[in-house]
Chain A
Amino acid sequence: MAHQAHSYHMVDPSPWPIFGAAAGLLTTSGLITWFHYNSSTLLTLGLLSMLLVMLQWWRDVVRESTFQGHHTPTVQKGLRYGMILFITSEAFFFLGFFWAFFHSSLVPTPELGGQWPPAGIKPLNPLEVPLLNTAILLASGVTVTWAHHSITEGNRKQAIHALTLTILLGFYFTALQAMEYYEAPFSIADSVYGSTFFVATGFHGLHVIIGSSFLSVCLLRLIKFHFTSNHHFGFEAAAWYWHFVDVIWLFLYMTIYWWGS
């Protein structure tokens, strides 16, 4: 049987891309039927199938790399480019929400009382829980870097400890934010202040949850000996994503929480 004479990965035929597209269709039309016809069947189907596709697709990537050895340095380079480009696209996504915030807050309309924060809005004190959250995410950036160094040095136990700590810090952040959301004296419906605050911080929170999930999968793989000291790109991708989430928070904190209060 002839073997390939190149270092790229020609993947096996896979059903996940088209099933993933179908899941997207179900999720979007599910949102429509939920909003307009009060039926959540399609939405549930959509989210469930999306979850199943993600699990199986990424399971297959692990099989192709760790178990079948297809991730040559060439392939890994492509994956690095891919992750960088994806994170860049996410940066642009958040840029839009920051633009919306500055559009409304730099020139507050008469309806807001010509001021920012708008009349009647009591913003959160940036030196209380938001400051703690900043410290938590910064610390988690340190622990994920510690985990990375432990992996490259071949220290399994320390790597597991550091990565676990990172994930716990992420959960702590999420729990504190959830509490803040519950206790906040303003809601998403409270003028454009509420809209910009909750949409920007809300999408950030979603990304923290995504990042924590990615790191959790890495922890599982780390425990199962999938990573070697010089080949652990899955972990690096998760760490890049996590640093990105941290940076977004820093911008949120400086602009919406601090300058905007």
Chain B
Amino acid sequence: QGLKPIVSTESPALIFGTTTKLASDLPATDSFLGKNKVPELQKLFQKADGLPVHLKGGVPDKLLYRTTMALTIGGTIYCLVALYMASQPRNQ
């Protein structure tokens, strides 16, 4: 979208100044259980692409969102139908 990719090996400047330091003040005990991917993720989620946070992770986010929406909205309709039927008098 015409945005210049920020390529940097340093921790990227955070948009909001906070007192949060990166995990770099934790001594990197080599690769004990994985590398620190937080700086890359910070870059990804601070991209100025206008996406809200719940969709900012890309396609997997969209799939999960649509699944949740289908289940809740579909379920709500099913629920209203079930409650309508349950409220009908039953003749023995």
A→B interface (CB under 8 Å): 3-4, 11-16, 19, 22-23, 25-26, 29-30, 32-33, 36-37, 41-42, 45-46, 48-49, 52-53, 56, 60, 63-64, 66-73, 154, 156-157, 160, 223-231
Contacts and interface: CB of A to CB of B under 8 A. Distances in A.
Contacts of B27: 154, 156
A19 B52 CA distance: 16
A63 to B, nearest CB: 5
Given A52-B67, A224-B38, A229-B26, A15 B54 contact: yes
Interface string B36-52: 11100110111000001
Most interface-central of A14, A60, A229 (chain B CB within 10 A): A60
B54 A12 contact: yes
B91 interface: no
Interface residues of B, number: 45
A230 B54 contact: no
Contacts of A63: 45, 53, 56-57
B20 A14 contact: no
A13 to B, nearest CB: 6
A245 B83 CA distance: 37
B34 A231 contact: no
Contact of B15 (A26, A29, A68): A68
Given A22-B75, A225-B23, 6 more contacts: A15-B65, A30-B79, A42-B82, A66-B42, A73-B19, A228-B21
A30 B75 CA distance: 10
